[in-house]
Structure 1
Amino acid sequence: MPLAFELAVQDTAGIRIAREIGAARVELGQALALGGLTPSAATVEAALEAAGDTGPEVHVLVRPRAGGFHYDVDELDLTVRDIRHALGAGAHGVVIGCQRPDGALDRDALAMLVDAAGGASVTLHRAIDVTPDPVAALRVARELGMRRVLSSGGASSAVDGLDVLRALVAEADGAIEVMAGSGVNAANVGEIAATGVDAVHFSAKRTVVSDIVGASGSVRMGSAADGVGGHEVTDADIARAVVSALAAVLRPAGTAARP
C-alpha cells in the first residue's frame, strides 16, 4: 500500500493484529483512554518479541503522566530514562512531546529528548495539536531532526482538521513526515488520506466491560468518574475495516481488489 499506516496498541494482542493487517509501525503505549502513557519495560519487551524480525516497527510512546505536556525537571529526567530504556530494549523509535507554559513547544526540552534518542526515529505526538500554531510547531520538529509528526490538524478528530493537515503537508515539503491520527475510521480514512499525509494512525479500539459477577461501578478505583469501568482493546475487525477502506480509495481506477 503506497500510504503507510500505524496502529496504536497497548499489548501483544494488538501487535499480532498489527502484523496481520500489514501495519508499518505500532505506537506502543498504555492507558490510551488517558491519551496514552509510557508502557512498562515488560510490555516493551513482550511487544518486541511479538513483532519479531518481520513484524511492524515498535515505536514507544514516552509520556510520564496524563494531564498535558508541560513537564518539570523530574518528569523530563524520567522521560530521558524511559527513552533510553525503550531504545536499549530494541524499540525502533520513540514518540514524545512537551510544551512551555505558553503552549508553544519546549524546544530546549525536546532537543534534550531527541539527543537521548541517539539518532533513533523520533515522532512528535499530538502535543502539536494543542500548540498555538501547529505549522510553527512542525518547523521546530523538523529543525530538531525529528522523523515525523502525528497530528489531527489541531482538532479533536483528524476529519475536522483537514485544512490544517494540508497546511502541515505543504510546510513539511517532504523534509519531515506528516501522519494523521485521532478518530480515524473506515468511514473517514479516505478523506483524511486525500490531504496528502504520509501516513495515517488509528487505534481500532473497543471497550471491554468486566463480566465479573457483582462488579459494580459504585466503587471507585482512583479519581476516574467511571469507577471500575472497562478497558480498551484492539479490535481486529475494526482494524481490517479501516485498512480495507484505505486500500479501496488508494487503488488505481479500474483495478479490481484481490480475490
Structure 2
Amino acid sequence: MTALEIAVQDPAGAENARAGGADRVELCSALGATGGLTPTLASVEATVATGVEVHALVRTRPGGFVYTAGEIAVMAADIVHLVSAGAAGVVVGALHDDGSIDRGATAVLIAAARQSGDVQVTFHRALDAAADPVDALRVLGGLGVDRVLTSGGARTAYEGRAVLSALVAADTGVQVMAGGGVRPGDIGALVALGVDAVHLSAKALVDDPGSSGPGGGSAAGLETTDPALVAAARRALR
C-alpha cells in the first residue's frame, strides 16, 4: 500500500498527522518560510513520544543545496544527535553546482545516519534541482539511499507526473515519494504512476494569539497540521 508521509513542525502536528492516518512524519522547522530546516532535539524527542515514526529533515539554512565542507560536517553531527533523540530516519540532500549529486557529501551524511543502526535515509527535494533526475536516482541507489522526495522538478507533484513516472520506471530500488503541492484530489493520479509514497504538509493557518512585534517576522498566521486534510489524504490512498 502506498505510504502517507506528512510534513510537520511540532509534536502537535505529529499528533494530528497520526490521528488522520499518517504512516510517518517528516519533522522540520520553519517549513512555510524556508521550505524546512533542521528541527531542535527537544522537538524530535517530543514528537517521537507521540508514537508516530519520525524522519528528521537535516538542512542548516534555506536556499540551494551546494554546501561547503563545514556545512556538511555540521549536518553530519546533527544527524548523529537526531538519531540519538529517536529519529527513525533522516532527510538530506547535497548537489554540485552543475546539478549533479554531490556523492562525497551524500556519503558522509549517510554514514552519519547508519553508524547508529538501521536508520532510513531520504534524499529530499534537492532532486528537483538536479540536472538529470533519473541519472541522479541511479547514483543515489548506488550510495544506499532508501527513498527520494520529489515533485518531478515541477511546481507541484501533479504537474511533474511525467518525470515521476520516469523515476518509477527506472526501477532503481530507491523508493519514489511524490511531494510538492499535493492535495488529496491529486493522490489518485499520483498513486496510478506507481509511486511508493505521497508526502504533503496538510497545513492550515490559524490566528497568532500574540503580536510578532518588529523582531518576530512577517508571518500572517501560525501554521498547523490539519487532521481533516490528513484524513482526506488517507481516504484517497484507500
Normalising by the smaller structure, the TM-score range is over 0.9
Provide the residue aligned with 1:60 in structure 2. 56
Provide the residue aligned with 1:257 in structure 2. none
Deviates more, 1:227-236 or 1:144-153: 227-236
Gapped regions of structure 2 (runs ≥ 5) = none
1:201-241 per-residue CA deviation (whole Å, 9 max, x = no partner) reads 111001223244xx488x4645xxxx253221101111112
AA aligned opposite 2:60: P
Structure 2 counterpart SS, 1:156 = coil
2:21, 2:231 within 8 Å by CA — same for their partners in 1? no
Provide the residue aligned with 2:124 in structure 1. 125
Gapped regions of structure 1 (runs ≥ 5) = 248-259
Q: Distance in 1 between matches of 2:15 and 2:219?
A: 27
AA aligned opposite 2:36: G
How many residues are matched? 234
User: For 1:92, which of 79, 88, 102 is the aligned residue?
Assistant: 88
| Offset at residue 23 of structure 1 (A) | 1.8
Flag the 1:216–1:71 CA change in 2: closer, same or farther, 3 A.
Answer: closer
Q: Distance in 2 between matches of 1:207 and 1:107?
A: 38
Q: TM-score, normalised by structure 1?
A: 0.86
Provide the residue aligned with 1:48 in structure 2. 48
What is the Cα-based RMSD across aligned positions, in Å? Answer: 1.6
Provide the residue aligned with 2:156 in structure 1. 157
Provide the residue aligned with 1:6 in structure 2. 5
1:14-60 per-residue CA deviation (whole Å, 9 max, x = no partner) reads 11122222322111111111111000011011011112xxxx31111
User: For 1:241, which of 228, 232, 235 is the aligned residue?
Assistant: 232
Structure 2 counterpart SS, 1:122 = strand
Q: Distance in 2 between matches of 1:209 and 1:141?
A: 41
AA aligned opposite 2:37: L
Q: Distance in 2 between matches of 1:216 and 1:199?
A: 37
| Offset at residue 242 of structure 1 (A) | 1.7
Structure 1 counterpart SS, 2:140 = helix
Provide the residue aligned with 1:80 in structure 2. 76
Structure 2 counterpart SS, 1:50 = coil
Alignment of 1:205 with 2:203, yes or no, is yes
Q: Distance in 2 between matches of 1:108 and 1:216?
A: 41
Q: Distance in 2 between matches of 1:105 and 1:169?
A: 19
Provide the residue aligned with 1:187 in structure 2. 185
Q: TM-score, normalised by structure 2?
A: 0.93
| Offset at residue 9 of structure 1 (A) | 0.7
Q: Distance in 1 between matches of 2:215 and 2:43?
A: 26
Flag the 1:208–1:198 CA change in 2: closer, same or farther, 3 A.
Answer: same
Q: Distance in 2 between matches of 1:141 and 1:242?
A: 28
Q: Percent identity?
A: 50
